[in-house]
Amino acid sequence: MNIFSDINAMITDMLGPFGGVMLIGLLGVLLILITLPTVMKRPDDPLDRLKAANRGQAPKAAGKAERLRAPSSKDKLEKFANFLEPQDAEEYSAAKLKLLQAGYKSKNSVRIFHFSQFALGILGLVLGGLYALLKMQQGDVTSQNMMIMLLGPGCVGYMLPKYWVTRRVAGRKEAIINGFPDSLDMMLVCVEAGQSLDQSILRVARELKSGFPDLALEFETVSQEMKAGKGKEAVLRDMSERCGVQDISSFTTVLIQSQQFGTSIAEALRVYAAEMRDKRVMRAEEAANKLPTKMTLATMMLTVPPLLMILIGPSIYGITQMMGTGN
């Protein structure tokens, strides 16, 4: 018992009154990190294979789990796929679509995204623990502050990739919206010059690459998929899903309907391009009308205090001087 008492006293002197709790927490995190590879590599349970066979499903291969896509031997995170990727097809498709809208087209994007969340969360916990140890050596720390210092950086690190992807999606959509009217005008010129729709899309992709790279990449993807033999309707619908912009969805609907009903593509593009130009002007006017409202608060904060000092300052100074003379 004396040995345990001496160890407890030494820990308390070094780390403060919560030193034992801190060491237990760090030991728990270390054990979790040690056991995670074992959990990720867990072999298939024979009972699970038997249940799948009874339900009429194909049994899994020995030592290999079912994947939503074909594995790649070059990917170092392949063995952790069951942990880093959603096993439900709908969740995987939703995560993949959001990353596509953010501009990440790699086949391992979902896996890398979840790995980034996990790694940054663990890094935040470690940094929070080190910071908490430093603060405990400097002075007394309450249990509430300790929990905030421990869990705060971990939560921030875990949510940081999600926040980054959300910002990327918003910025990419804005860039596509800004460049879409110009692309329609250029496509209309190409179609009226005698080029086919496929050639027009490829030419627009080349011309827009320097000014609007995100939109140019989408048009280039459409052109390559058409060359590969994919149906034009499916290609256009996939483009609208990847962009996630209402203007692109309406544009693809116009082209699909023009193809189905046999109407002129040039006439449809002319009408829709004029509509997009008017819509861009309306967006600019809306932003200009919002500007005075946004500037009101800043104008009041920067104008009213100096004005009060100029108007009231001399009177206050005179009153103080009179009061001083009277005394």
| Burial (CB count within 10 angstroms: exposed 0-12, middle 13-18, buried 19+), residue 202 | buried
Q: Answer left, alpha or beta for residue 103, where phi above 0 means left and psi between -120 and 50 means alpha.
A: left
Structure confidence by residue, pLDDT tens digits, 61-107: 434 344 555 555 555 666 666 666 776 778 888 888 888 888 888 88
pLDDT score for 3 = 66
Q: Please give the pLDDT value at position 198.
A: 85
Question: Residue written as tokens 């544009």?
Answer: 251
* Interval 4-9 mean pLDDT: 64
The per-residue pLDDT for 66 is: 45
Q: Which of 135, 171, 127, 134 is nearest to 151 (CA)?
A: 127
CA-closest candidate to residue 99, choices 118, 85, 113: 113
pLDDT in tens, 26-51: 666 666 666 555 545 555 555 555 55
- Least confident interval from 28-37, 118-127, 186-195: 28-37
Predicted local distance difference test score (pLDDT) of residue 64: 39
**Residue-wise pLDDT tens digits, 150-175:** 788 888 888 998 999 999 999 999 98
Total-model pTM = 0.66
What is the arithmetic mean of pLDDT over 115-144?
A: 80
Least confident interval from 1-15, 194-208, 234-248, 274-288: 1-15
For range 274-283, the mean pLDDT = 88
Determine the 3-state secondary structure of 1 from DSSP. coil
Compute φ and ψ for 34, nearest 5 degrees.
Answer: -70, -40
